[in-house]
Structure 1
Amino acid sequence: MSRLILFNKPFGVLSQFTDSKSPTERATLSEFIAIKGVYPAGRLDRDSEGLLLLTDDGRLQARIADPRFKMPKTYLVQVEGDPQDADLEPLRTGVRLKDGMTLPAEVVRIDAPDLWPRNPPIRERKSVPDSWLRITIREGRNRQVRRMTAAVGLPTLRLVRWSIGDWTVEGIAPGAFAETSA
């Protein structure tokens, strides 16, 4: 039976067990997960939070991470600005980035979700409104959601991966994990 770990990755933590590239110590998965033989299925940027899946099954890892399988990944995204439906339409049809067109995303404006506080908190400006979106993509390009929102004039302030396929971070505190069978 495959092991599958659902980890709520805090802001500032690398999606790997060691950090050999930085002369200063940065937080890694090893500070939170002491289970041998599991590896991340995909990545989540250091400045992003939320669901990171880890497994000991190479096939499952590939099925989750490989864009060929188009596994949906849903993000709760706080953006700068007050987007209307027309502003979100380019995200729904595909956005041209430097590395080509993205696949269409599912995008809905949502009320501010009841999330844990982020440490450090995001920078808030009284003169600039912010909004929350729920964005589901089926690719996994580097910093894709941030690049997509920036391309349509909505810079990302906070990015929380909420789910991958049917797996969700709901009910898992930042820095904690739950184990389930795949």
Structure 2
Amino acid sequence: MAGRKQFDVDEALQRAMYVFWRWGYPEASIDRLTEGTGLGRGSLYSTFGDKSALFRQSLDRYAQTYHPLYDQALSGPHPNPGAVVTAYLQVTLNRIADPNVPDGCLLTMSAAQFPALDAEGQALVRTMIDTLRALLTQAFLAAGADDQEAAELALCTLATNQSLAVLSRTGFSSDDLATVATAAARIPR
């Protein structure tokens, strides 16, 4: 039938997400994207639009996949702010340990390459980070932190999370990453 996709669009988007995750936006060339998705250029463009549009769809997919895990981890109840840090960073450690996904974090990679993104991509990255920060702040408040402490701990936890992603890409062991997470959870006590 004419106009009917001869491939799984959802699977192609998943594969594109992995290309951006592995290479970052600037290095995720159209050649890498076609190779990674198994699609020809025409199918790639007609299905997803240009590279920037495909990147934003991939980042949305990433958020749809991983942000519910953070939501669940932060839903509590948590006996203290340190337990919030532990729950949040455990999601990151679990993702990093997954051998089926690239090292690091697509959101961290994208934030590090912020200047290379178009305005829509930059806005999406910033919105995603701000959303996680707000979720963390609320979880810290629910765990007994005051407003200032909750805001500070949310920012520190985000920074630690980003650091874990970077360290994992540079080959730090899972034991080293767990040490960072454990030490970070001791900070608010």
TM-score by length of 2: 0.30
* Higher RCO (C-alpha 8 Å, min separation 6): 1
Structure possessing the higher radius of gyration over alpha carbons: 2
Higher strand share: 1
In terms of fraction of residues, the more helix-rich structure is 2
TM-score, with length taken from structure 1:
0.30
